[in-house]
Amino acid sequence: MGDGFRQHGLQSRQITFMAPFGLRQKTTVWARILPLARRLHQYGYRVTILIPPWDSPADAGQSWNDEGVRVVNVRLEGGLPLVLWRLWRHMQQEQPQLVHIVKPRAHAGLIQWLLWQRRRWTGAGPPIVLDVDDWEQAWADINQYAWPVARFLAWQEEWGIRHADAITAASKWLVDRAAHYAPQSPRLYLPNGVSEPDLSGFRKPDRSWRDAHTNTVLYYTRFVEIEPAWLADFWRTLQQQLEAVTLEVAGNALVAGRESAFKPAVDAETLPGNQVNWRGFVDQETQAQLYAAADCAIFPAQPAPLQEAKCSVRLATTLLHGVPVVASAVGQQAAFGADGAAQLVDAGATPADFAAAVTHLLAQPDKQTHMVERARQRLLTEFSWDDLGDRLAAFYATLLKKDG
């Protein structure tokens, strides 16, 4: 591994990822950037992730080594100007040959702006690569941003795409958006990936021990994928088709209080003998129990920019742990579930259509077995972090050779 990079003298180069937030609350840095950074380190790159941990302040001022990757959390005192200064100072001390901006927003977006202005006035500075794994403008209504805030974030996102030397994107929808705003910039489709899980956590697809009269459906959600009425209609129809069913709803709302509209709508449709368990955030132990108990998992999604843009780590993880999945063929879900890895439902399917697909899958144990095996094979072959890191390393090599 890495002979091509050593041949060109690229293995000793410094790569700096500039994060917009910390490791603890949001998933992008720990679930996407860290696996890529670890693989780059295996190629011989020196890799640092610079973090303004405003959402995980306990990490402020702390640094550590993560499998060869240097993780630096700057201090937070002094507000935005001083936090930006500390990020800039750390970056300058490392003298990176390439800076990879993680999302064109907040602190990372402002550092990108500063890098571009320095280049504009001095002609100096490393190549700037921008990573996009979401479409931030799609969150404006959900987060109820005031108009000036929404307009600034939209400008920052579009400006960031137009002022990057290259772009990595987590979904094909985002690749297309990047091409729209920056048609001349090199682009790399770089979805989220998976790693081989602990084999003890993989449930064999033998379901012969299950009670034939009990069905458990797992739904991981952030309460933004569909509307409350859709879920209520689905749940009502599913109960009409199955003799007994439990719906396990796991996950916290990304926007505080958003789940309050879902609970009464769904609970009102629950028939005697069936139940809905609202789990909220689940730790790894509870997650393993939910995976083991589930007959299938569902990933409904509306065909809207918010869902088209994202690349669900949770969907890939659920597939990899041996749970049969029924998913809307929206965005990256269609890519993860292709070739029989999941039961895909048309993007515009009604709640009744989706419920029928779930019922149909639950009645076919042989199909479930095939899907589980196909999903595991396909994910580990086409979406492994090692392979994705290899693609990113090759992308970097091309950019760095162009830069001299």
The single-letter DSSP state of residue 191 is -
- The answer to whether the CB of 367 falls within 8 A of the CB of 169 is no
- The answer to whether the CB of 51 falls within 8 A of the CB of 72 is yes
Q: Given the structure tokens 């459906």, which residue do they identify? A: 217
The alpha carbon of residue 264 and the mean position of all alpha carbons in its chain are separated, in whole angstroms, by 29
pLDDT(194) > 70: yes
pLDDT(39) > 90: yes
Cβ neighbours of residue 8 under 8 Å, at least 6 residues apart?
Answer: 397, 401
pLDDT score at 199: 46
Q: Which of 55-69, 189-203, 220-234, 380-394 has the lowest mean pLDDT?
A: 189-203
Number of other CB atoms surrounding residue 386 within 10 Å: 15
pLDDT score at 211: 54
Task: Indicate the pTM of the whole model.
Answer: 0.90
pLDDT digits (tens, 9 = 90+) for 325-337: 999 999 999 999 9
Cβ neighbours of residue 152 under 8 Å, at least 6 residues apart?
Answer: none
pLDDT(338) > 60: yes
SS3 content of the chain, % helix, strand, coil (to 5): 50, 15, 35
pLDDT score at 5: 45
Q: Which of 8, 10, 102, 5 is nearest to 48 (CA)?
A: 102
53 pLDDT band, cuts 50/70/90, is very high
Q: Given the structure tokens 């779930």, which residue do they identify? A: 358
Across the range 363-388, mean pLDDT stands at 94
pLDDT score at 138: 86
Burial of 236 (0-12, 13-18, 19+ CB in 10 A): middle
* Structural element, H or E, at residue 328: strand 325-328
pLDDT digits (tens, 9 = 90+) for 281-336: 998 889 999 999 999 999 999 999 999 999 988 999 999 999 999 999 999 999 99
254 pLDDT band, cuts 50/70/90, is confident
> In Å, what is the CA distance from 281 to each residue of 143, 254, 286, 323, 351?
20, 11, 9, 19, 25
Q: What is the spatial distance between Cα 321 and Cα 199, in angstroms, rounded to a whole number?
A: 9
In terms of CATH, what superfamily is 199-382? Glycogen Phosphorylase B; (3.40.50.2000)
Cβ neighbours of residue 264 under 8 Å, at least 6 residues apart?
Answer: none
pLDDT digits (tens, 9 = 90+) for 92-137: 999 999 999 999 988 999 999 999 999 999 988 999 999 999 998 8
Q: What is the spatial distance between Cα 332 and Cα 350, in angstroms, rounded to a whole number?
A: 20
Q: What is the CA radius of gyration of the chain?
A: 22
- 23-27: list long-range contacts, CB under 8 Å, 24+ apart: 23/51, 23/53, 23/56, 23/59, 23/71, 24/53, 24/55, 24/56, 24/58, 24/59, 25/55, 25/56, 26/55, 27/313
The whole-chain average pLDDT of the chain stands at: 91
Q: What is the spatial distance between Cα 344 and Cα 357, in angstroms, rounded to a whole number?
A: 9
CATH topology of domain 3-193+384-403: Rossmann fold (3.40.50)
pLDDT score at 196: 78
* Structural element, H or E, at residue 304: none
pLDDT(403) > 80: no
pLDDT digits (tens, 9 = 90+) for 196-238: 765 444 555 445 545 556 899 999 999 999 999 999 999 999 9
The type of residue at 253 is: A
Q: Vertex 132, ends 186 and 335: CA angle to 5°?
A: 90
Question: What percentage of the chain exceeds 70 in pLDDT?
Answer: 93
Cβ neighbours of residue 163 under 8 Å, at least 6 residues apart?
Answer: 112, 113, 116, 128
pLDDT score at 8: 42
Q: Which of 38-47, 144-153, 232-241, 344-353 has the lowest mean pLDDT?
A: 144-153
Q: Report residue 185 as tokens.
A: 């910039």
pLDDT(252) > 50: yes
> In Å, what is the CA distance from 53 to each residue of 71, 80, 111?
11, 12, 15
| Domain span(s) for CATH 3.40.50.2000 in the chain | 3-193+384-403, 199-382
Q: Given the structure tokens 């405003």, which residue do they identify? A: 54
Q: Which of 373, 319, 360, 379 is nearest to 195 (CA)?
A: 379
